[in-house]
Every structure is written in C-alpha cells, then in structure tokens.
C-alpha cells in the first residue's frame, strides 16, 4: 500500500471513482473490513497508487476509463465513421491506442477540425442543434461572391424540407466566405450553395465552439487542453443531451426520486479497464487558406 501522497489518492475516493458507491459509502465498507489493498486489511486514511490492487469483498475494483478528448485536422478523403467496413474510416486513420469515436461528422470531401472522444455523454450535448454550439467554416466556391449570395445564405435557405437557421456569413475574398453554423444538417453548406447555383470547391472547418484549428497540420491530432475542456464544460453545463434540446419549447418532466441501494457483499458491477494517455506531436505550419484574412476570436 502506497502511503506517499505523490500520485496517490485516498482509498475512499478511489472506491467512489469506480462508480460503485459514494465516498461515504466507501468509508463504511472500509470500516466494516470489506476492503483490502494488495491483500492487506485497510483503514480510513489509507492511500492507493496506480499499481495497488484494491478489492471489495474479494473482488477487484478497477478504475473507470480515463476520458479522452482529441482534436483532429481531418484530411480530405477520410470518412467520419467507426464502421470498419469503410477502409478510410476515421478511427482506423487516427490509429489511437484507445477506442475513440467522432463527435458529429465532417464530409468526406471536406477537411478541418473534428473532435474524437470516448465520452458518450458529451457527444449528445455538443451535437444538439438546440444547444447553439458554433462551428466555423471557410468555404471556397467556383464563382464570385455577391452581396445577394451573402444575404440569402445568412437568412436561410430551403433544403431537406426545412429552412436553414439564420447564421453569420462573411465575405473573405472574391470566392471565399466564412460561415458560422449551429446546425448540422447533412451536407448543409454544400446544399445551401447549390441552391444558389454555386459549387463548393473547398470546405474547411476551423473552429468548434471555443476550440480553434490553429496551426494543427492536416492529418495531425492533439488532446484538448485543460483550459479548453473547462470552457467546453461550462458551455454545455445547461445543454440537454436529449432530443428536447432541438425543440423550441421544452416541457419539464417530473421524475420520482430513486432509492440509493448500497452494494451488498459479493454483489457489484465490475468496471472497464483504465485508459492510457497518448502524447501526440503537434506540427506548426501556416495555412494559406486562412492567411487571406486575420482570424478574430
């Protein structure tokens, strides 16, 4: 049993972190003599490290998987799917040692920022259109951009049986514009342009919420920083993770309080194994596509 405070946590906190019970309940198990560390009896105040084996009623308690949040600069041709039948699927491309899945989609012919994670809860909160989380794109088209084009794109285009939500559209150069969406309709930007008789020649996503693509080179990925995750957590704190987020009016649902049933002896759920961290390489390169206008965020 590791009693060194460095890289160790209180035993009751570790037990609680596995998701089996609260810290107070964990203290009760320790007092009752139901918990061992490396085969030895324990007491309140004991600390454990990563290599210690903690058992409750003789069964090993394993740490919950570490949540991972990855930002990838997706290349053109990679498909935002976990389907192994797709040879160019994004999971195989990133080749991360842990099982991750993309948050949302980015069309095969498009490139730029996309998140991958093993945290299913955060996925739904970010994706729901009703949560108004911004996604920014730089788009090249096949002919000169007119004021009429900008106006119509900004105020809504009829596609897929609906009218797109009003959005911020800004002309960057003769054939390049920036658009910020909170929707995620299938091939939305391409369909909007097609309706106005424009063809998208290049589409690059440069920002999701507070996370910018920056100097991340095409094909490279990095883990989101602690500050980025704190801001995202703050932004989704009031987000719904259900379809209700996409409705104009939400009706509160009443629910009966659930009883907190304590695990009994030899009766608990074993959690999955912990995740390993991978330290990606970040390459810096200037993007000629974005150099046409200084970015302001």
- Active-site positions read 107
Buried b (16+ CB within 10 A) or exposed e, 265-286: eeebeeeeeebeeeeeeeeeee
Alpha carbon distance 29, 265 (integer Å):
10
Strand order in the sheet with 59-61: 40-41, 35-37, 54-56, 59-61
Q: How far is CA 115 from CA 109, 162, 183, in A?
A: 17, 27, 16
Pick from 113, 187, 202: nearest CA to 157: 187
What the block records as the tokens of 253 is 């649902």
Pick from 206, 209, 217, 216: nearest CA to 239: 209
Pick from 274, 243, 294, 212: nearest CA to 60: 274
Alpha carbon distance 50, 114 (integer Å):
32
- DSSP string spanning 157-222? -EETTEEPPP-EEEEEETTEEEEEES---TTHHHHHHHHTT--EEEEEEEEETTEE-TTBPTT-EE
Asked if residues 88 and 45 have their Cβ atoms less than 8 Å apart, the reply is no
Helix (H) or strand (E) holding 48: strand 47-48
Alpha carbon distance 181, 134 (integer Å):
6
């Amino acid at each position: 049993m590791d009693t060194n405070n460095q890289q160790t946590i209180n035993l009751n906190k570790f037990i609680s972190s596995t998701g089996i019970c609260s810290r107070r309940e964990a203290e009760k198990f320790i007092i009752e003599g139901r918990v061992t560390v490396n085969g030895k009896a324990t007491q309140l105040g004991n600390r454990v490290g990563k290599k210690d084996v903690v058992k409750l009623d003789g069964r090993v308690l394993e740490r919950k998987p570490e949540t991972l949040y990855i930002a990838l600069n997706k290349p053109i041709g990679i498909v935002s799917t976990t389907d192994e039948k797709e040879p160019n699927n994004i999971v195989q491309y990133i080749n991360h040692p842990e099982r991750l899945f993309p948050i949302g989609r980015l069309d095969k012919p498009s490139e730029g920022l996309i998140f991958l994670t093993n945290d299913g809860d955060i996925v739904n909160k970010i994706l729901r259109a009703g949560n108004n989380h911004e996604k920014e794109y730089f788009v090249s088209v096949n002919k000169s951009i007119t004021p009429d084009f900008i106006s119509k794109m900004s105020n809504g285009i009829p596609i897929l049986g609906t009218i797109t939500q009003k959005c911020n559209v800004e002309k960057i150069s003769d054939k390049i514009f920036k658009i910020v969406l909170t929707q995620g309709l299938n091939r939305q930007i391409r369909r909007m342009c097609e309706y106005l008789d424009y063809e998208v020649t290049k589409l690059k996503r440069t920002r999701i919420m507070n996370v910018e693509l920056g100097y991340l080179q095409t094909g490279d990925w990095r883990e989101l920083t602690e500050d980025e995750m704190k801001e995202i957590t703050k932004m989704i704190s009031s987000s719904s993770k259900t379809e209700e987020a996409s409705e104009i009016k939400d009706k509160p649902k009443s629910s009966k309080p659930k009883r907190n049933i304590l695990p009994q002896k030899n009766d608990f759920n074993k959690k999955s194994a912990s995740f390993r961290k991978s330290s990606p390489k970040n390459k810096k390169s200037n993007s000629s596509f974005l150099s046409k206008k200084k970015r302001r965020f």
